[in-house]
Amino acid sequence: MKVKADLHLHSNFSDGRYSVEEVVEKAIKKNLKVISITDHDTIEGVELANEVCEKYGITNIPGVEVSSEIGGKEIHILGYFIDIKNSDLKFYLQQFKLERLERAERILSNLKKLGVNLTIEEVMQFSESKPITRPHIAFALIKKKIVSSYYEAFEKYLGDYSKAYEKKNHSSKEIVIELIHSCGGLAFLAHPYNLSDGELTEIIKSKIDGIEIYHPTIKHSRQLYLHKLCVANSLLESGGSDFHGGHRNDYSNFGKFGLDLPQLNKILNHNKVRKVT
């Protein structure tokens, strides 16, 4: 498959290493025609992404990756073709930004109990005005020489099963999907590598539009299963590298995971957007 579209990219507006401009430049080097910068729970970089892509002659599909959950398990839902001026979407994401701040403060409280003193101001040197993510906390720990690497930060303190971990308080999948639909978007389940058949069925019943089946965490056998599931339920298929850069050493995935033009045009046709040739 010749990848021409990567619909799952991150910039430094959330937890990516690179600026929007740098992500677009890397996409051009990979000969991509269409991208979607889908930052976590924020749309602050979308307008800039549209402008930079137009300047370089490629297309950015306005996108976002919204956190949700099923049965206490965190899931992510990708929204494409969203109206970034939609007041409900902007209000929702602003409220979730506050939840991320509160979660960060809970993590810092847990760290203090473990004898690790880190302030929210030190973390915000990395997050600035953006939603705070665990990588921002990891970078602050590295700067203070509490850990020597990103991986050590997660292994010792920030990973899902560590003593300092705190889960985010999510909205239900139904609320997130309806939010995306209400601002003209299509909702796709992101990287379902660890979901059971029952959980997938439940999500499909929640009126999801499609599933991301091409992703670094999705093995070939799983891709085939998800493809059959999409066909059986008349769902669209998406894909992308989930590129963050830097600490994740994932540049090799950029241009390797995504969609070819026929697969992309199925999504564009569904949303009545002009085909790419």
Residue 269 CB-half CA count within 13 A: 9
Question: What is the C-alpha to C-alpha distance for residues 269 and 265, in angstroms, rounded to an integer?
Answer: 6
Tens-place pLDDT, residues 31-83: 999 999 999 999 999 999 999 999 999 999 999 999 999 988 999 999 999 99
Indicate the CATH number of 92-158 among 1.20.120, 1.10.150, 1.10.3470, 3.10.20.
Answer: 1.10.150
At 1, the pLDDT band (50, 70, 90 cuts) reads confident
pTM of the model: 0.89
Tens-place pLDDT, residues 110-157: 999 999 999 999 999 998 888 899 999 999 999 999 999 989 999 999
Tens-place pLDDT, residues 2-21: 999 999 999 999 989 899 99
Whole-number pLDDT of residue 254: 92
For 113, phi and psi rounded to 5 degrees?
-65, -25
Residue with tokens 């639909």: 181
Tens-place pLDDT, residues 203-256: 999 999 999 999 999 999 999 999 999 999 999 999 999 999 866 668 889 999
Whole-number pLDDT of residue 128: 86
In CATH, the number for domain 5-85+174-270 is 3.20.20.140
Q: Is the pLDDT of residue 276 over 90?
A: no
At 170, the pLDDT band (50, 70, 90 cuts) reads confident
Whole-number pLDDT of residue 52: 97
Q: Is the pLDDT of residue 174 over 90?
A: yes
Q: Is the pLDDT of residue 101 over 70?
A: yes
For 121, phi and psi rounded to 5 degrees?
-65, -40
Question: What is the C-alpha to C-alpha distance for residues 217 and 10, in angstroms, rounded to an integer?
Answer: 16
Beta-strand relationship, 73-80 and 63-70: antiparallel
Whole-number pLDDT of residue 248: 63
Nearest to 183 by CA among 89, 61, 60, 76: 89
Whole-number pLDDT of residue 129: 83
Boundaries of every domain in the chain: 5-85+174-270, 92-158
Nearest to 9 by CA among 262, 256, 261: 256
